Structure 1
Amino acid sequence: MIVGVLALGLFMAFQGCFGSSSTSWNQRLTLVIETPQGGVSGSSVTGRNVVNSTGAMLPPDARGPRGDVTGEAVVIEVMPGRWLFALIDGSDSVLRTAKGWPEAAYGLSSAADGRQRDYWEQMRVLKNQPLDTPVPLPPEAWPMLVTFDDITKPETVREVDPEDLAAVFGEGVRLKAVTLEITEEAVTVGRVGVLLPWLGPYQEPALGPWNGETLAEAPFYLRVHMGDFIRRPE
């Protein structure tokens, strides 16, 4: 019994110094697009895992929540042979990535009375969301959208303005809705890879070569990376 009590005490002390906890969930992003031929839509389920490190012995920059993402981009055939991809990363704004969508959809950080919620309360808010219930994603959190002039050539990627799909896909095409929902459905796999077989196994590479351009001269394909389309479990 004494040994057990000592072991428990050591464990609690270790947790206090180096402790962490984790939370995970799956989220479905859905895009609905209006076209002259009727509505089309697409969705993808990404998995989120967040580890909150709180140990007193950890350096300050190692404390707090950190998360990762698994899954793949939403892909929609807007017109025959013309594809739109809603990326899971790639934007300069975290809100426009899979890590930021829950904050934007559910207002996790701020409570109704204006105070800032801590990590635990944010996770409670998230976990209390009804399953498979779509919530509108505000425009400032819409994911980066891209298409390809030639889907077999990654360097032909180009950004699509979510407010002006008609500029790329023709008159009468517009983004009608973007929603997020918490779900128990499995993470989506296999759709993007079929369309983009040139995607490599690593997330860091850009979609084309760097040829010595300055930042101002860099083509758009250098801003887009393999991992913006697919994030595999590590």
Structure 2
Amino acid sequence: MARSTFREAGAYLSLLGLLVLAGCTPGYEELPTYRYRLTVELATPQGVRSGSGVIEVHTWQAGPQTIPSPGAIRTREDGEAIVIDLGRQGLVFALMRAGNFMDWPGSVARSLIPSVKGDTYDVRGAEIAAIKAMRGVREVPPTFASGSSQLQNWPDLVRFADRSRPETIRWIGPLPPGRIAPFAVAIRRVTFEIVDAPVTRTINRRLPWLSDAAGETRLPTDLDRAGLDPFIPPLSSFDFTRNVDR
């Protein structure tokens, strides 16, 4: 009997491992997936420059009996930072994050739909239905109200002095009030459009070291090294490309 129990326990653990590897968690329901094209326009001394990319968002919601967090939401974003080519000034990267809002790529669409009211277990499904029903290009507001807080809703910007060397990363913005930007570039507009197109996968050609980065490799910026970064959350390789659960 004990041997049979051990076999059953082993089978359960094996199944659980397979579910985790597949991106599933027992007790979670997968909601519809959607893809969107994010376009970032920059104002530069040479005029407006832009770049775009397609990002895919997967969402799971815990059921009412799930322990310890019934109704909890998990997302997985599949995509990469937006690359804006400034010609002789090099490339600017609009990251897959917005300040402290690390789940921003999976949440930005919610800033473009009316607030959804209702039962906890129905709200996110209704939100995704509204997102998938959007047509045409929408402008993304620079901030997003979440409860009593205003969250940053435009991506962070960085560049590299030498793209082959991650240690040469340079922070562009946003910057705290009163700090002068050393690189005269700022976001002019961000747009969002629901699309049925392949997820963008070009960044490894732009940043050859990225495919070898282990896990969420920490990337100290020039402001980190100067001790000037209390305003800026730490950067990592995860901000450039991701396909993992959050």
Q: TM-score, normalised by structure 2?
A: 0.69
Partner of 2:92: 84
> Is the 2:96–2:102 contact (alpha carbons within 8 Å) kept by the matching residues of 1?
no
Check 1:90–1:155 CA distance in 2 against 1; reply closer, same or farther (3 A cut): farther
- Return the match for 2:126 from 121, 127, 142: 121
Q: Distance in 2 between matches of 1:52 and 1:222?
A: 28
Partner of 1:223: 234
Partner of 2:150: none
Check 1:206–1:153 CA distance in 2 against 1; reply closer, same or farther (3 A cut): same
Check 1:221–1:127 CA distance in 2 against 1; reply closer, same or farther (3 A cut): closer
Q: What SS is found at the alignment partner of 1:76?
A: strand
Q: Distance in 2 between matches of 1:42 and 1:139?
A: 17
Q: Does 1:24 find its partner at 2:28?
A: no
Structure 2 unaligned blocks of 5 or more: 1-25, 144-152
Q: What SS is found at the alignment partner of 1:186?
A: coil
Q: 1:221 Cα shift?
A: 10
> Is the 2:172–2:183 contact (alpha carbons within 8 Å) kept by the matching residues of 1?
no
Partner of 2:3: none
Partner of 2:172: 160
One-letter identity of the residue aligned with 1:32: E
1:33-72 paired onto structure 2 within 5 Å: 33-56=42-65, 58-61=66-69, 63-72=71-80
- Return the match for 2:109 from 94, 102, 105: 102
> Is the 2:43–2:187 contact (alpha carbons within 8 Å) kept by the matching residues of 1?
yes
Q: TM-score, normalised by structure 1?
A: 0.72
- Return the match for 1:185 from 194, 197, 214: 197
> Is the 1:157–1:220 contact (alpha carbons within 8 Å) kept by the matching residues of 2?
no
For each residue in 1:186-210, what CA deviation from the matched residue of structure 2 results, as whole angstroms up to 9, or x when unmatched?
10002x111210112544111259x
For each residue in 1:169-198, what CA deviation from the matched residue of structure 2 results, as whole angstroms up to 9, or x when unmatched?
44xx543211111111110002x1112101
Q: 1:138 Cα shift?
A: 1.2
> Is the 2:31–2:125 contact (alpha carbons within 8 Å) kept by the matching residues of 1?
no
RMSD: 3.5
Partner of 1:139: 142
> Is the 1:21–1:51 contact (alpha carbons within 8 Å) kept by the matching residues of 2?
yes
Range moving further from structure 2, 31-40 or 97-106: 31-40
Check 1:83–1:136 CA distance in 2 against 1; reply closer, same or farther (3 A cut): same
> Is the 1:163–1:175 contact (alpha carbons within 8 Å) kept by the matching residues of 2?
no
Runs of 4+ in structure 1 deviating by more than 4 angstroms, as ranges, are 113-117, 216-222
For each residue in 1:43-82, what CA deviation from the matched residue of structure 2 results, as whole angstroms up to 9, or x when unmatched?
01111000122152x2142543211011110011124142
